[in-house]
């Protein structure tokens, strides 16, 4: 990839970074204002040669989400690269209904492999486009938060926002 556009959006959970490719597809997103942290979510061979500040179409969806339109993130186009299982998993994450999180076991079952809990957790951990591919909607088997690349405080906030909607 030759160039990408980086935009930061202020949210109730702190600054939200959106890195989009030349086709305006989100390739990385998350709660940070640190460009290096954004780029670190991509393998070195998949990082853009140039990052420029600018506007992305996904920013409007982030603002709408935080204004209460939880479904606004559903139509944002993302571009992720991974194994066939990862790609299927990321698509399945987008199908989880807001306000009804799954456990890692439930997510593994949704992928057709109930015993593949570690694989399900790995799919969540390798998701570079947080919020748009809502890995925050997957919890530990006991209902606790578990890990989240952007912190459990953000995960708790997102889940509370979605439950209230």
Give yes or no: 135 in active site. Answer: yes
Catalytic residue among 17, 20, 124, 135: 135
What radius of gyration do the chain's Cα atoms show? 15
Catalytic residues: 135
């Amino acid at each position: 990839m030759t160039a990408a556009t980086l935009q930061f959006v202020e949210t109730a959970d702190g600054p939200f970074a959106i890195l989009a490719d030349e086709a305006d597809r989100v390739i990385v997103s998350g709660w940070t204002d640190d460009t290096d942290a954004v780029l670190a979510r991509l393998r070195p061979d998949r990082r853009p040669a140039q990052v420029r500040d600018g506007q992305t179409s996904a920013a409007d969806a982030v603002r709408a989400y935080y204004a209460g339109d939880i479904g606004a993130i559903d139509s944002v186009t993302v571009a992720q690269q991974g194994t066939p299982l990862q790609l299927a998993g990321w698509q399945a994450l987008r199908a989880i209904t807001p306000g009804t999180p799954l456990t890692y076991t439930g997510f593994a079952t949704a992928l057709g492999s109930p015993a593949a809990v570690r694989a399900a957790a790995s799919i969540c951990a390798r998701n570079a486009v947080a919020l748009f591919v809502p890995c925050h909607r997957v919890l530990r088997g006991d209902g606790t938060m578990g890990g989240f690349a952007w912190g459990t405080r953000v995960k708790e906030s997102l889940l509370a926002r979605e439950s209230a909607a």
